[in-house]
Amino acid sequence: MSKTFTGAIKDFAELPEKVVRGTLIGMGSKIIKRSPVKTGRYRNNWQFSIDAPATGKDPGGSNELSLVNTANKMVAGNTFYMTNNVPYAERIEYGWSQQAPNGTVGVTLSEYSHFIEVAAKK
């Protein structure tokens, strides 16, 4: 089945947002997976929001589902926030955990281009 010219233009126009969403989901998932677990509080506290950082703690529920739902609401001009408000989150990022001696966020950010490539290929 061939697309109409109008349909192809619409798909092309939506491509940048799809790549951004895919990149956010890929990076967010990796950060969650890299999060060390002792009690699960740190890993379960990742929160995702648009245009303002989350201020609460321990939201519960599925981080992955929340990540996907929030990323899929992104449109051009939005700012995406991934927040962890446990008091020791900064210490974990800077080597406090033996499970994640290099942190979680910075390591994942260094792989940014890989996540863009993966999202663009989809």
Q: Which of 33, 35, 17 is nearest to 80 (CA)?
A: 17
Domains of the chain, residue spans = 35-121
pLDDT in tens, the chain (122 residues): 456 766 656 666 677 889 999 999 999 999 999 999 998 899 999 999 999 998 887 666 668 899 999 999 998 899 999 999 999 999 999 999 999 999 999 999 999 999 999 999 98
Q: Could you tell me which of 81, 97, 79, 80 has the C-alpha nearest to residue 89?
A: 97
